């Protein structure tokens, strides 16, 4: 397999500049970025000199702009993000990350589609590491609603993607009635994932494989090119490989290439790992 024909690529580098990808070359983006104002990401954003809520979203917006550039007409982007709460200057605040991301994509000119609310059945209300309701327990009116949902936001670049009548790859990728009924309803109950790689993977906050698996089946067809610009431990790559889609992912931290290789086992022989800028541009522009 030569590098230019490789179907699975991991770029160790920064998705704020995806120079390895041609304009209009990606059919589907499935990703979960670092969440602004969520404690486990504080150090990460600090190292990027993004300390305020606005700065954290400005950081992410640079990747969202690239997502727009590389998506093919009719291509879709699915973004998993959770809101955050924090007490600042003695005042409890909600940081509605999902609405910031929607605003950014609207400004970029993508079409916002109905989104999914992902309820993790294992999520219990917690505060400062202890199971608790936020605010003052059982007494009205100062208790706070617990954030026990995450969002899977869905955007499209331009109008609907078109196909030849009876396109065999499209028909070969169809879902069943049960799958359609469950996947296209707004609330998903999918268990969170166990973090098994110690400190580093705890920091990455992986999503369960079922999330990218559903999204890839819902919004792409066989052989499509799927992108994850915040790859982490490689969950989207694993799902794309199992579902015969091509894949490219970006991850800033070199240490994750070992985790991804370990996770993929012998399948990792099919993946090309490269540092950014060492690889020529891939993907030819696609049309709707
Ligand atoms: C929430 S995690 C992704 C978890 C992933 N969905 C999984 O299942 O393992 C976000 C990842 O984005 C990476 N990251 C943050 N900024 C990045 C950037 N500009 N380019 C590439 N990767 C970045 C972080 O290092 C982290 O591993």
Per-position DSSP letters for 41-93, written without gaps between them: GHHHHHHTT--SHHHHHHHHHHHHHHHHHHEEEEEEEEEEE--EEEEETTEEE
- pLDDT digits (tens), the chain, 288 positions: 444 457 999 999 999 999 999 999 999 999 999 999 999 999 999 999 999 999 999 999 999 999 999 999 999 999 999 999 999 899 999 999 999 999 999 999 999 999 999 998 755 555 555 555 666 667 889 888 999 999 999 999 999 999 999 999 999 999 999 999 999 999 999 987 765 555 555 567 899 999 999 999 999 999 999 999 999 999 999 999 999 999 999 999 999 999 999 999 999 999 999 999 755 566 666 655
Tell which atom from ligand 1 comes closest to the C-alpha of 228: 6
Q: Is the CB of 30 under 6 A from ligand 1?
A: no
Cα(205) to centroid(ligand 1), Å: 9
Ligand 1 binding pocket includes 207 (Cβ within 6 Å): yes
**Ligand 1 contact via 77 beta carbon (within 6 Å):** no
Tell me the pTM: 0.92
Domain 3-275 has CATH 3.40.50.2300: no
Q: Is 230 in the pocket of ligand 1 (CB under 6 A)?
A: yes
What SS3 state is found at 142? coil
217 CA → ligand 1 middle, Å: 22
Q: Which residues pair with 28 in a beta bridge?
A: 76, 226
User: How is the chain split into domains, by residue range?
Assistant: 3-275
Ligand 1 and 205: CB distance under 6 A: yes
Instruction: Summarize pLDDT for 212-246 with one digit per residue, the tens.
Output: 999 999 999 999 999 999 999 999 999 999 999 99
């Amino acid at each position: 397999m030569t590098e230019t024909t490789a179907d699975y690529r991991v770029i160790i580098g920064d998705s704020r500049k995806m120079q390895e990808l041609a304009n209009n070359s990606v059919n589907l983006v499935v990703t979960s970025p670092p969440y602004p104002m969520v404690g486990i990401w504080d150090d990460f954003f600090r190292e990027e000199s993004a300390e305020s809520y606005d700065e954290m979203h400005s950081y992410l917006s640079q990747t969202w702009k690239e997502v727009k550039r590389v998506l093919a007409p009719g291509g879709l982007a699915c973004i998993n993000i959770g809101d955050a709460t924090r007490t600042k200057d003695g005042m409890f605040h909600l940081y509605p990350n999902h609405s910031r991301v929607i605003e950014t994509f609207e400004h970029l000119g993508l079409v916002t589609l109905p989104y999914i609310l992902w309820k993790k059945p294992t999520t219990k209300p917690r505060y400062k590491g202890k199971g608790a309701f936020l605010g003052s327990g059982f007494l009205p009116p100062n208790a706070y609603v617990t954030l026990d949902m995450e969002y899977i936001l869905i955007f499209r670049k331009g109008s609907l993607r078109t196909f030849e009548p009876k396109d065999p790859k499209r028909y070969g990728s169809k879902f069943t009635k049960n799958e359609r009924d469950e996947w296209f309803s707004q609330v998903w109950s999918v268990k969170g994932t166990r973090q098994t790689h110690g400190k580093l993977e705890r920091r990455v906050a992986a999503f369960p494989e079922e999330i990218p698996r559903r999204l890839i089946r819902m919004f792409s067809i066989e052989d499509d090119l799927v992108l994850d610009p915040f790859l982490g431990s490689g969950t989207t790559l694993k799902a794309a490989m199992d579902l015969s889609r091509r894949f490219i992912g970006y991850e800033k931290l070199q240490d994750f290439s070992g985790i991804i290789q370990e996770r993929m086992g012998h399948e990792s022989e099919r993946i090309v790992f490269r540092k950014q800028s060492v690889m020529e541009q891939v993907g030819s522009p696609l049309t709707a």
